[in-house]
Amino acid sequence: MSKQILTILGATGKQGGSVVKSILADSKASSKFQVRAVTRDPTKESAKALKALGAEVVAGDMNDKDSLHAAIKDSYGVFSVTNFWELFSGEAEEKQGKTVADVCKGALPGVYHFDGKAHVEEYIRSLGIPASFFLAGFYMSNLPGMSLRDMGDGNWALALPIPDDSPIPLFDAEADTGKFVKAMFLNEDKVLGQRVYGATAYHTPAQILDEFKELFPSAGKKAVYNQLPGDVFKGIMASTGAPEVIQEEMLQNMRLMPEFGYYGGEKLEPSLAVSNGVSKIRSILSADLDPQLLTEKPTTWKEYAKKNPIFASLD
């Protein structure tokens, strides 16, 4: 059985250090928990001493939300102590505490075009209006010629600011929105009050690129995946004229997928099941949606790529 991770912030300080040492010295606690000690400088002697005791020592700063996302990821619990004396500011100390809380909750506060839709859903539910909610996935049209393009001399690359194993719910909006919404209207009693997720499948960047190579072996021979640093991704957005707020929103939109899941980790099967005899998925993972919803199969990434005009000349 794998140990649960306890992340200790301020691990080289008096309070954080005490928590680390107490857990590691207790046979019951140390058999259950893996201690992750967070410090701004893992190379200093006090950090090395914690590592020698058996702690996993990682870099992190409560004034840097991005570093906390990595430090707190997969944690069972977090011990946090704020530091008024660092900046002699109650406001700064409060911000530290709220930042830790936001990260623990899984907050990406800048994905405004998702937040707005969520608020509308909440409002509709509060009114008691009979409604179902269609949540479109990641548009396949964002890939050809944009994220997946010829970098020159026939060398193709897929570039996104997320790891190559991030789950992306791919969706052909133009061809498939109607398939889902039509099915919702035809099956009102089955979907009333529920969310229907509009996506064909979760595909990772690695899978997207692999299928591109299968379809176009010559063009794909040297195709690679580039994981872009966040600032580089924002720089590319800036070059298109996007203001800072949009640059940050799109970066957080991308981060949503590996960090929390585009749909919060929900399965797609209940929304995908078709009733035309091709597939009848009896999902035990969700009892909310009837297993016979769609009457037409949604478009796969391979099908979309094969017919996309940007790839028309490839072989």
pLDDT tens digits for range 22-68: 999 999 999 999 999 999 999 999 999 999 999 999 999 999 988 99
* Domain assignment present for 217: yes
Which residues of the chain fall below pLDDT 50? 275-291
In SS3 terms, the chain reads as CCCEEEEEECCCCHHHHHHHHHHHHCHHHHHHEEEEEEECCCCCHHHHHHHHHCCEEEECCCCCHHHHHHHHCCCCEEECCCCHHHHCCHHHHHHHHHHHHHHHHCCCCCCHHHHHHHHHHHHHHHHCCCCCEEEECEEHHHCECCCEEECCCCCEEEEECCCCCCCEEEECHHHHHHHHHHHHHHCHHHHCCCEEEECCEEECHHHHHHHHHHHCHHHHCCCEEEECCHHHHHHHHHHCCCCHHHHHHHHHHHHHHHHCCCCCCCCCHHHHCECCCCCCCCCCCCCCCCCCCECCCCCCHHHHHHHCHHHCCCC
Whether residues 205 and 273 fall in one domain: yes
pLDDT for 274 equals: 56
In a domain, 115, yes or no: no
What local confidence, expressed as pLDDT, does residue 284 receive?
Answer: 30
pTM (global) more than 0.85: no
The pLDDT tens digits for 250-279 are 999 999 998 889 998 899 988 887 543 333
Domain match, 64 and 146 both: no
Indicate whether 147 belongs to any domain: yes
Do 155 and 80 have their domain in common?
Answer: no
Q: Does residue 182 sit in the same domain as residue 220?
A: yes
> In terms of domains, do 75 and 148 share one?
no
Q: Do residues 234 and 159 both lie within one domain? A: yes
For residue 149, being part of any structural domain is answered with yes
Q: Is residue 65 one of the residues assigned to a domain?
A: yes
pLDDT computed for residue 1 by the predictor: 55
Which CATH number goes with the domain that contains 17?
3.40.50.720
Same domain, 189 and 290: yes
Would you state the pLDDT for residue 104?
86
How high is the pLDDT of residue 154? Answer: 86
Residue 233 lies in a domain: yes
Q: Is residue 125 part of a domain?
A: no
Range of the domain at 41: 4-105
Residue 124 lies in a domain: no
- Domains identified in the chain, total number: 2
